[in-house]
Structure 1
Amino acid sequence: MIKSRYFKVTGFSYFVMSLINVKNTLLIEVKLTKKN
């Protein structure tokens, strides 16, 4: 029970982190394309 809850929390935080990474990558790409 405790273990599954722990995995749910880590999975969710990992998911959020990956979403933030994707957002940052998109923002960087947009900035680069605007410069060119």
Structure 2
Amino acid sequence: GQKTAELHNGLFAQGPITLQHGAGTIKFRKVAIKAL
């Protein structure tokens, strides 16, 4: 596979979902994940 992210803060280092952005400040609120 290809490297898609590099994490420097180990607080949320493991989990099934990753939210990724390119640059700047971004905030997420009320993120809901549903089965397709």
TM-score range relative to shorter protein: under 0.3
- Greater length-normalized contact order (CA 8 Å, ≥ 6 residues apart): 2
**Normalising by the residue count of structure 2, what TM-score does the alignment of the two structures yield?**
0.13
**Normalising by the residue count of structure 1, what TM-score does the alignment of the two structures yield?**
0.13
